[in-house]
Amino acid sequence: MHKSTQLIHNGHETDPVTGALGVTIYQTSTFLRRDMSKGPDSQPFDYSRGGHPTRLALEEIIAALEGGAKGYAFGSGMAAISSVFGLLSAGDHVIAAEEVYGGSLFILNTFYKRMGIETTLVDSSNPENITKALRSNTKALYLESPSNPLLKITDLSACIGIAKKAGILAIVDNTFMTPYLQRPIELGADIVVHSATKFLGGHSDVVLGLAVTATNKLGDKLHTVQNSFGAIPGPWDEWLVMRGIKTLKVRLETQQASAQRIAEWLLTHKNVTNVYYPGLAGHPDKAIHEKQASGAGAMLAFKTKTTEQALRFYEKVTLAAAAPSLGGVETIASRPVTMSNIATSAADKERLGITDTLIRLAIGLEDAEDLIADFAQALA
Ligand SMILES: *Cc1c(COP(=O)(O)O)cnc(C)c1O
């Protein structure tokens, strides 16, 4: 089946009890213990932190879409990512790409560091840097491609290959691409994480996270973390994400087509110095991206000549919300230096090129012509 069909037909089209189309929202915290002489494993659902029918439907849907064995849902993308790192122990070492989501680096460099887990940040656009960073106690490699916010590409197969050879977990944040465009487990990853708050939810109305494991064994371990940390979402939010997933194809296809046009238009603007989008002919790693993903996505970034021009853009733009987040039906213009990369040190911002003039756009479903006209007046 094509992914577009699987978004709709995934074993959860109808409620088995009533025949209702769609998944039922079970607003319950607990379930009858059918046989009091037995433990919780004697029945499918017992207490909602450990397992819940609405959540299970979403977990099975995302596992199938990513081509993994088991899926798990969490209260946010960060809850999913934190829970995945909960698989590690004191004394373990993590190699993380330096351009992953700022929040992921923050938990590694603060909470997990305090718990005795060390992290080395590398530029993953060169896989050799990962080989060089390997230690005897390295237990996980954490990647994201395209990167946030500069849309740099990491060769996922090459990097995951290094992790496999070293016998460590390869974890990929697939939020920007979604399984519709890119499936890291098919490239060898052990775990995929998502902020479903973004494209999967798709309407800027829910915060939720997902993780998918390649094997049942790893899934069981992550389930223990999910059940014991308890960073789970509620059934309404799970339902909203399942509803969002149904229209992922049409949203993403349209947003991506608009992103391509807007990126090409921005290249021609006199006040724009750089445009970052993997769909552009001039993107240095376009070929690597096309090898591992079926589209360039709906995220792009650009730099204006001056900071004043960037700040004026947020002030004057009317069809883009000046806000954090991405992946909704509305276009969002974020400012990495004060939003996603607020925790990045000044020296690292400078080194990575995350400047005051950098604007990140998440293209929505507005007409591309209208967006271009609006951006033109905001950049004038
Ligand atoms: C937003 C985001 C996260 C964090 O997800 P929340 O749902 O906000 O907790 C993680 N990774 C990426 C790439 C994101 O964009």
The pLDDT value recorded for residue 342 is 86
Task: Tell me what the mean pLDDT of segment 93-112 comes to.
Answer: 95
Q: Which of 70, 152, 198, 360 is catalytic?
A: 198
Q: Provide the 3-class DSSP secondary structure of residue 170.
A: strand
pLDDT at 321 over 90: yes
In percent, the amount of the chain with pLDDT more than 90 equals 96
Q: For residues 165 and 112, give the distance between their C-alpha atoms in angstroms, rounded to a whole number.
A: 25
Please tell me the distance between residue 369's alpha carbon and the centre of ligand 1 in angstroms: 29
Ligand 1 midpoint to CA 319 (Å): 23
Q: What is the pLDDT of residues 183-239, one digit of tens each?
A: 999 999 999 999 999 999 999 999 999 999 999 999 999 999 999 999 999 999 999
- Ligand 1, atom 7: nearest CA belongs to which residue? 77
How many CB atoms neighbour CB 299 within 10 A? 27
**249-379 has CATH 2.40.50.140 classification:** no
Contacts of 204 (CB under 8 A, 6+ apart): 325, 327, 328, 329, 330, 332
State which fold the 3-246 domain adopts.
Aspartate Aminotransferase; domain 2 (3.40.640)
* pTM greater than the 0.75 cutoff: yes
DSSP assignment of 285-352: THHHHHHH-SS--SEEEEEESSHHHHHHHHHH-SSEEESS---SSSEEEE-GGGTTTTTS-HHHHHHH
Active site residue 26: no
Paired tokens of 135: 């230690």
Q: What is the DSSP string of 85-151?
A: HTT--TT-EEEEETTS-HHHHHHIIIIIHHTT-EEEEE-TTSTHHHHHH--TTEEEEEEESS-TTT-
Choice from 78, 147, 332 to test ligand 1 binding pocket (greatest atom count within 8 A of CB): 78
Q: What average pLDDT does the segment 70-86 reach?
A: 98
Are the beta carbons of 78 and 103 closer than 8 angstroms? yes
Q: Which two tokens stand for residue 131?
A: 């080989």
Cβ distance 358 to 305 under 8 Å?
no
Q: In this model, does residue 340 exceed pLDDT 90?
A: no
Q: What is the DSSP letter of 72?
A: E
Q: Is the pLDDT of residue 253 over 90?
A: yes
> Which has the closest alpha carbon to 177: 68, 290, 94?
290
Domain extents for the chain?
A: 3-246, 249-379
pLDDT at residue number 343: 82
**Residue 299, pLDDT above cutoff 90:** yes
Q: Is the CB of 341 under 6 A from ligand 1?
A: no
pLDDT reported for residue 255: 98
Statement: residue 246 has pLDDT above 90 = yes
